[in-house]
Amino acid sequence: MNKEAQKRTPFADALEEYCQQQMVPFHTPGHKLGTGAPCREQALFGTALRQDLGLMYALDDLFQPEGPLREAMELAADAYGAGRTFFSVNGTTACIEAMILAVCGPGDTVLIPREAHRSVLSGLILSGAMPAYMESRYAGREEVSLGPDPASLQAAIAAHGEAKAVLFTYPTYDGLAGRLAEMVQIAHQHGLIVLVDEAHGAHLAFHEDLPADALACGADCVAQSTHKLTGSLTQTSMLHCRKGFPYTERVAAAMALVQSTSPHYWFLASLDLARQQMALEGRALEEKALFLARQARKQLNAL
């Protein structure tokens, strides 16, 4: 990671500079920088309405980025060790749908866990791909699913030799990080493309005491909910492709298919700013969070 370059926030800066130019808006949205907004909307959002912009080609185009937005996504790729990173204003749902659409077509088999998010099912419906389920382990005493392990992956591969891809949920929605690196290696040995729903793992790459993030484990395409844990606005996420991933351009086309053609520039700027914070301060912030978590665990275990 280039720490000096990570100090930059190119898209957030471009948005702020545009808003300072006192432009007369002959463009959407129809509230015209708040002047035409309902009174209660003006009271609720105040001067923030002046930054409620989208589809401003002076600021760059989400689906054909050539300026500050492209630089912002390149900085995100550098921060996470990706070959290419895409910003999402339609959440991780869009990212998961896009990565399935990019690699699968009608009739293709995808191995998935029973704990898969509903967006995985949406991606299967949109692509026409067929699911084949990996068996999950279950901790009866704790009443928590542990997800699939290498043995259940091997069994699923043996039963579905036609499978084209495998999708893992990592961490699980109960916060458990399984043996992903080992399972990625097994999947690649059998020629499978590895997709990861890392919605709750956008923070993992920034502290060595946390489980390794999915890209570090060798995954091909990883969807992360930046808004869940690392500070961007609700509904914003990132999709990372590993370096050299041959389906990257198809991922770009799929992201354009599943996202709004009126992306909110607040959202995009918040992704830029969240990336900067994690790149520069992520380890220190997570060190504090880990300390508090360990203290809470110690006190709870003493009851």
In the block, residue with structure tokens 């948005």:
15
**Pairwise CA distance, residues 251 & 85, whole Å:** 10
Q: Which positions ≥6 away from 95 have C-beta within 8 Å?
A: 86, 88, 223, 224, 237, 238, 239, 255
φ, ψ (nearest 5 deg) of residue 88? -125, 130
- 136 close to 148: Cβ distance less than 8 angstroms: yes
Q: Is the bond preceding residue 113 a cis peptide, omega within 30 degrees?
A: no
Render pLDDT for 173-213 as a digit per residue (tens, 0 to 9).
Answer: 899 999 999 999 999 999 999 999 999 999 999 999 999 99
* Three-class secondary structure assignment of 149-175: CHHHHHHHHHHCCCCCEEEEECCCCCC
Q: Is the pTM of this model over 0.85?
A: yes
Among all chains, which residue has been given the structure tokens 């370096």?
A: 243
Match 């545009």 to its residue by tokens: 18
Q: What's phi and psi for 138, nearest 5 deg?
A: -140, 130
Residue with tokens 């220190």: 284
| Domains with residue ranges and CATH for the chain | 8-298 (3.40.640.10)
pLDDT value at position 247? 97
Per-residue pLDDT of the chain (303 residues; tens, 9 = 90+): 999 999 999 999 999 988 888 778 888 888 888 888 999 999 999 988 888 887 776 788 999 999 999 999 999 999 999 999 999 999 999 999 999 999 999 999 999 999 899 999 999 999 999 999 999 999 999 899 999 999 999 999 999 999 999 999 999 989 999 999 999 999 999 999 999 999 999 999 999 999 999 999 999 999 999 999 999 999 999 999 999 999 999 999 999 999 999 899 999 999 999 999 999 999 999 999 999 999 999 999 999
The predicted structure's pLDDT at residue 81: 97
